Amino acid sequence: MASTYTSNLGIEKIGAGEQAGTWGTTTNNNLDILDRAINGVGAITLSGTSHTLTTSDGTLSEGGNKVLVLGGSPSGTNTITISPNDQDKMFFVHNSTSQTATFTQGSGGNVNVPAGAKALIYADGAGSGAAVVDLLDSLTFGGTKLTATAAELNLMDGGTSAGTTAVADGDGIVTNDGGTMRQTTAATFSTYFNANLVTVPSAITSSSATLTPSSAQSIYQKVDTSSNNVALTLAIGSLAIGQYIIVDKTSSSNTLTLSYPSNSQGVSLGNSVSFAIAINQNGSIFTFVESIKY
């Protein structure tokens, strides 16, 4: 009985009573085929836009390698046809070319491996309708399917391509909640920042007062001068650089005088002025004061 060959690796099965005195050569060749199939790393040189990855019966062939390292200089997307189309195959692929490699075996489906990417694929050997499948597609973590796109993962990994997409209240923002990554709406962040970014104390009504910001927040301060003139001292030494005080004179009656304890700068808001904005630029004095009239 003549030799036959295994379906997927093309290993020669010596027929009964065959190859007397030479069977050792065939056996050694079979062991080399197995060795390549288990741990073989094959360098596949691509050119043009097509390549046939062949596994031949009884022969050490490039399609028999476990790992395929794609090299060469393909002129565009290179279609790699796994042949024959009735062999089950599994490959670890490293595409080190500058073009996409498309693996196909039949009409059942293909796998694209982008330039520089790696993949774990199998071909089902179903003949003319054979399909190639990416085993890393539909990746799961802890039983949860990963549905992010490659572009989304690249962005989370430090992508620098910023767009101009408008932010709406219902949009999610990823935040680290005590070590657990969560999505929180933009509206929730807005509420938090509004509550914690600027302090809004009760209105000042006394004839003299001192306004002392905390080290962490700017201040929006209303001053009611409807009953009397008010002299307000701004204790700017407590402000960090970039923080500010907004003083809002809520009445057109009487006068509001602003002064700073560390220097003689100040401003007086008369009947026609509504509020002033003072910005602390160097940690000790206000170098800009804007008065806005009614």
DSSP per-residue string spanning the chain: ---EE-TTT--EEPPTT-STTTHHHHHHHHHHHHHHHHH-EEEEEEEEEEEEEE--TTS--GGG-SEEEEEEEEEEEEEEEEESTTS-EEEEEEE-SSS-EEEESSTTB-EEE-TT-EEEEEE---GGG-BEEETTTT-EETTEE----HHHHHHHTT------PPP-TT-EEEEEETTEEEEEEHHHHHHHHHHHHEE-PPPB-SSEEEE---SS-EEEEEE--SSS-EEEEE-GGGPPTT-EEEEEE--SSS-EEEE-TTSS-EEEE-TTEEEEEEEESSSSSEEEEEEEE-
144 — phi, psi (to 5°)?
-105, 125
- Are 73 and 97 within 8 A, CB to CB? yes
pLDDT in tens, the chain (294 residues): 689 999 999 999 999 889 988 999 999 999 999 999 999 999 999 999 999 999 999 999 999 999 999 999 999 999 999 999 999 999 999 999 999 999 999 999 999 999 999 999 999 999 999 999 999 887 776 777 777 777 777 777 777 777 788 889 999 888 888 888 888 999 888 877 766 677 788 999 999 999 887 766 778 889 999 999 999 888 766 666 667 778 888 888 888 888 776 554 555 555 555 555 555 444 444 444 455 544
Rounded to 5°, angle at Cα 65 from 45 and 82:
70
List Cα–Cα distances, 79 to 46, 73, 104, 125, in angstroms: 10, 13, 7, 17
280 — phi, psi (to 5°)?
-90, 110
Residue spans of the domains in the chain: they are: 4-134, 168-194, 200-293
In the numeric block, which tokens belong to residue 156? 């989370």
What span, in angstroms and rounded, lies between the C-alpha atoms of 17 and 1?
A: 8
Task: Report if pTM > 0.85.
Answer: no
Annotation: CATH topology of 200-293? Jelly Rolls (2.60.120)
How many residues would you count in the chain?
294
pLDDT score at 239: 64
Q: 135 Cβ partners below 8 Å, 6+ apart?
A: 120, 121, 122
